[in-house]
Amino acid sequence: MSTHHVEKVVIIGSGPAGWTAAIYAARAALDPLVYEGMPTQQMIPGGQLMFTTEVENYPGFPEGVDGKDMMKLFRDQAARFGTRIVTDDIAKCDFSRQPFVLHDSEGNEILTHSVIVATGAKARWLGIANEERLAQSGGGVSACAVCDGALPAFRDQPLVVIGGGDTAMEEALYLTKFASKVTIVHRRHELRASRVMQDRVLGNPKIEVAWNSVATEVYGDMVISGVQLTDTKTGETRDVECKGMFVAIGHEPNTAFFDGQLDIDEAGYLLVKDPLRTTTNIEGVFAAGDVSDQIYRQAITAAGMGCRAAIDAERWLGAQGVE
């Protein structure tokens, strides 16, 4: 990683998108360098799947697979083909010149012809006691109903969804396929969701809404047993029994360190110039996974985008005469 050596491709991020991009790039003889990130309380190398105990909807694992185990398999496969891995963060990028200049958190400078951004997005949590602990341990707190809602632990059980937008309504409706009852917790007396989504939710006999309420405590040691709700008008509290809590108050894409060099939408997600490609507004920079996807946010869609980004990068490098 000398300042005189120019990488062909640097991949920033280590979730399904990053590792899949690495696998494809390595097999294409691009000698990829992956910055997998440093572990923090909110993010761990490997992405959101590191907080998931059981993945049942990824093809090839008929009995399901632990999220951590799955990401280790991805990482090992990338390493098998020669991917170089650095457990550090990229703290700063300069895309104004070619080759691009990246700086890691140790102060090292990396020159590279192309970059694949696969930094993901972190779920927004309520910030109350027990919440993230039970999320990280697989104790029944989740930020993705489509990922986790069909697990046996949630079937025929009372569940809680936090939020009032379209995503929260979609999560609640999805959970009615499995739950005995779904309680939506919303801090106001009017939902923010679109009218059509409100009508579907309010007309569903399995769903009730706890209006003017916020969750202020999560009960449970190994697994969640209930939540405490506080009335936003009166301050009164009450307990609601549940076997699962799904927090649907949004995600925050990890794009801040690009300092406005890459185009983003109003929610902070990277924009791609062509929906059939992974190209960003800067030639040679490609986006993959949840950092540019606020609709699906699934491991398999992220992996697919990682594949596309690696192929896009390979073809772009070839057009530039980089061998």
Active site residues: 144, 147-148
Cis peptide before 152 (omega within 30 of 0): no
Q: Are 86 and 52 in contact (CB under 8 A)?
A: no
Count the helix, strand and coil residues of the chain and give each as a percent rounded to the nearest 5: 30, 25, 45
Written as one string, the DSSP assignment of 16-68 is HHHHHHHHHHHHTT---EEE-----SS--TTGGGGG-S-B-SSTT-TT-B-HH
Work out the burial of residue 259: count CB atoms within 10 Å of its CB; fewer than 13 is exposed, 13-18 middle, 19 or more buried. Answer: exposed
- Residues 98 and 81: their CA atoms lie apart, in Å, by 27
Listed in sequence order, the residues at least 6 apart from 103 whose beta carbon sits closer than 8 Å to its beta carbon are 90, 91, 92, 93, 109, 110
- Residues 106 and 90: their CA atoms lie apart, in Å, by 9
* Element spanning 90, H or E: strand 90-94
